Structure 1
Amino acid sequence: MPAPDAPESRDREPSERDALPVSRTGPASGRPLRSAAFRWFLGGQSISMVGSAMSPVALAFGVLEVTDSAAWLSGVTTAALVPMVAALLLGGGIADRYRRDTVLCLTSLGAGLTQVGVALLLLTDQHPAFLVPLSALNGIFQGLTTPALRGIVANLTAARGIQRASSLLASVRNATRIIGPTAAGLLTASVGGGWAIAVDAVSFLLAAACFARMSLPDLPPRTAGGSTMLGELREGWGYFSSRPWIWTVTLAFAVFNGLNMGVWQILGPVIAKDTIGAASWGVVLSARGVGALLTSVVMVKLTVRRPMGPALSSMSLAAVPLILLGAGANTFWLAAAAFVAGVVAEFFTVVWETVNNTHIPERLLSRVGAHDEFWSFVSIPIGQLSTPFLAAAFGTTAVAVTGGGVAAAAMLVPLLVPSLRKIEINRNDD
């Protein structure tokens, strides 16, 4: 969950950002594709995201093929989520303390090797219990990766290039969300989920090779008696907690994420397995990617002076697919709602990533982002573990419809904070 800075800090932060190392391959131009380091980063991320977009569908139906159990699917998924969330804060400290290209290279390599193991277990029809330790290890690598991704754009570009870079990355990410789920659904329906996970494993390894070619400048040497890792983590927490409108949005997304991920990722495949099928479920997920892709292309040029009000208000529409899922909607209506959810979610994401990279000091980006993601993600394992039991007690319809309604309301609560509505995005000319 991206976290912007407060407006009152703008005047004093540019000097902090300018003093920090960035890529010397052309960030000042505001045209990120002129930077060789950014091109390697974009290539690595593109490859990795193709595999990652396939993984949720493949893993979900791979586990259901063996067990036909929502509880086991919840357990395997949560086994990755809990370590991921736990590793976020440490990952924020590491990413602000060491070169982010090195961090990404090592974590992608580790994630690729763990996915090789997951693919082998699925291809040999092993019990999902054997997936748990590998999923946990993969979650740790993902938790260490995420904060580095939050901060590295500011290393690779500057000024107007930040929004351009964010939009390029968003466009690629959303294109993979169109291709990945559909491809995973077709592969799973034809030859099994293990092959789609194998593609994800290869994508991580190729991404690690790309990140190794980025070659960002070394960080300034640390002086004797300088800040410790613990001290730097405390500094990130102080920055995050001193801005109420940041943690207000974070808490709202904690509610939204717990409900959305519990219903959509756990009940979604279970309901789809008995109704529209794996291939159609992949189409529904891809429809969300189509909406997000179109929005990310538009956002290259679109500027809203005070965007947080529209961004959060529209995010309430992202909960509509949960309600339709519970109501037993067919593939067409689920895909249409998912498309709208993709539009509003991407609008919010691009806005918030731009604010995040332009208003938070570069040296704190990963740590502040890690706190934001930790507190907004910590509810996801709770939601995913509790959803099967709630569905058994109250029925899938009641859980999905109620969860969607509460998630929609949660997105509107932060708008009660006046400073949030006043946040502005200023786009500098080249």
Structure 2
Amino acid sequence: MSASPDRSSLWGDQQFLLLASARTISVLGNGFARVALAFAVLALPGATPGRLSLVVACQALPQLVFILAGGVIADRMSRARLMVVADVVGAAAYAGLSALVLSGHAPLALMCVLAVVAGTATALFSPAMDGLVPLVVQRDRLQQANGMLRVCTNSSLLLGLALSGVVVAWTGAGWALALNAASFVVSAFLTTRLRVPGRAAKKSSGWDDLKEGWREFTSRQWLWVVVAQYAVVVAALNANVGVLGPLMAEEDLGGARAWSLIVAAQALGTIAGAGLAARVRVNRPVLVAVLATFPAALPLALLAVSAPVWLIAVAMFGSGVSADIFGVLWATTIQREVPEEALSRVSSYDWFGSLAFAPLGLLVAGPVADGVGIQQALAGCAALIALATGAALLSPQVRGLTATARPAAPPAVGAPTVDEGTAQ
């Protein structure tokens, strides 16, 4: 592992700056919503762990159901335009949730419907965003760009999480959800200003595109093995962040402010991790990325034994560092190894596999906590993370894939060039 030269001139690239600004503002609102939604549900009359599980599962399930369609659409149309549509839909969903909470009349069924809408917006947005980055920056600067984007978004998430507990405690969860809705509107406006090369119209059907993306995905053992690993890891982490962690905080740690401190520590760690990952070069990026997953189990284990808040926060900081080392190396490897014209579809299979068990994890976390206890449920999640990560290391390609930096393919002669941000 070695440090790369500082190439901060990316900040002088107007297109990259627009993309980074849009993501930073959107994630700031998400920082508020992550804490606010959980405590908004817990504040409802008759709230139970099962009801919290239901709402957050309703948000996660559409991300799984519609993510493959999102990848196909993103490879067939303007990725920037699809991101704008997703932002607008997300803004409407969170505005509705905010209105329900502020009105004092928030039927569980309606909150679940709006959570489904918010999850659908994410399913449309994520593959488009993954495919847009290589159109904004050059291939040899992808790792730097991914790291810088994560520094921006993680810093913004940290600020949102740090303020969310205070906002929820002082003004209530409704206003925190309203801030998230506003952030999506600003993000949509900034994304409309992006100007990146377009692609020629495709004549194949959506079903053929989906099958082609599947072939690209399954032809790379390192890709599907790590996605299978993260199907388990994401389910365990989501159960912690969405259900078990807030329940433990409410029961033993002091409520929303303590939980906000813990998740803010993780966000601070992701800033350090992203900054480090943007500057280093590793010869075997997938191996390093998988090894960086092990620290994610430690905070859950500490929560399970009722460790002090400060110690849990330190462990969450470490897990944040390792999580973004994984994220930057993983995103850069996919962007380098997968052809650009199939990138959003392969990304959608990545998202689909990684999220495969997330709704189930959220849905059962509350009932399991009721049945065996919150601490035992947390210990089980920590064990699942460690076991899945160890299993991924058995793959020869995970251990052996070396970094490549293939030059970007030149545009085809006569291929149309349009503004992805404004094309109709």
Q: Give the TM-score, by structure 1 length.
A: 0.89
SS at match of 1:66: coil
On the 8 A contact 1:95/1:147 being kept in 2, the answer is yes
- Whether the 8 Å contact between 1:319 and 1:404 is mirrored in structure 2 is yes
Give the aligned partner of residue 263 of structure 1. 240
Equivalent residue, structure 1, for 2:252: 275
Instruction: State the alpha-carbon separation in 1 of the partners of residues 285 and 57 from structure 2.
Output: 34
Task: Note the C-alpha offset of 1:264.
Answer: 3.1
> Which residue in the other structure is 1:140 paired with?
120
Q: Deviations over 1:46-75 (max 9, x none)?
A: 110100122110000111011431111111
Larger CA deviation: 213-222 vs 39-48: 213-222
Aligned length: 398
Partner residue in 1 for 2:3: none
1:388-399 to structure 2, matched below 5 A, reads 388-399=366-377
1:229 and 2:206 matched:
yes
Match of 2:230 in 1: 253
CA pair 374-221 structure 1, distance change in 2 beyond 3 A: closer
Q: Which moved more, 1:88-97 or 1:210-219?
A: 210-219
- The CA distance in 2 between the partners of 1:31 and 1:378, in whole Å, is 39
Matching residue within 347, 350, 359 for 1:381: 359
Residue aligning to 2:38: 60
Q: Give the counterpart letter for 1:57 in structure 2.
A: V
1:206 aligns with 2:183: no
**Are 1:60 and 1:73, in contact at CA under 8 Å, matched by a contact in 2?**
yes
How far apart, CA to CA, are the structure 2 residues paired with 1:310 and 1:148?
26
**Of 388, 391, 398, which residue of structure 2 is paired with 1:420?**
398
1:42-191 counterparts in 2 under 5 A? Answer: 42-67=20-45, 68-125=47-104, 126-191=106-171
Q: 1:310 to 1:132 in 2, by over 3 A?
A: same
- Separation (CA, whole Å) in 2 of partners of 1:36 and 1:251: 37
Name the CA distance, whole Å, in 1 between partners of 2:36 and 2:140: 38
Structure 1 residue runs without a partner (length 5+): 1-28
Q: What's the counterpart of residue 328 of structure 2? A: 350
Q: Which residue of 1 aligns with 2:412?
A: none
SS at match of 1:160: helix
- Alignment match, 2:215: 238
Q: Secondary structure at the match of 2:278?
A: coil
Partner of 2:267: 289
How far apart, in 2, do the equivalents of 1:382 and 1:159 lie?
Answer: 37
Name the amino acid aligned to 1:303.
Answer: R
Name the stretch that deviates more: 191-200 or 66-75.
Answer: 66-75
CA spacing shift, 1:99–1:30, aligned 2, 3 Å:
farther
AA paired with 1:119? S
Contact 1:63 1:73 in 2 (8 A): yes
> Residue 370 of structure 1: CA displacement?
0.4
Q: Is the 8 A contact 2:49 2:367 kept in 1?
A: no
Task: Give the letter aligned to residue 154 of structure 1.
Answer: P
Q: Secondary structure at the match of 2:332?
A: helix
Shift of 1:241: 1.5
User: Shift in Å at residue 211 of structure 1?
Assistant: 0.6
Shift of 1:316: 1.2
- Cα offsets for 1:293-347 (capped at 9, x unmatched): 1121122221111132232123111111111112112210110110010011111
SS in 2 for 1:300: helix
Counterpart in the other structure of 2:413: none
Task: Describe the SS at the equivalent of 1:416.
Answer: coil
8 Å CA contact 1:37–1:156 kept in 2: the answer is yes
Q: Is the 8 A contact 2:285 2:401 kept in 1?
A: yes
C-alpha contact 1:264 1:322 (8 A) present in aligned 2: no
Q: Measure how far apart 1:97 and its partner are.
A: 0.7
Q: TM-score, normalised by structure 2?
A: 0.90
Matched residues, percent identical? 29
Contact 2:286-2:399 within 8 A present in 1 as well: yes
Task: State the match for 1:218 in structure 2.
Answer: 198
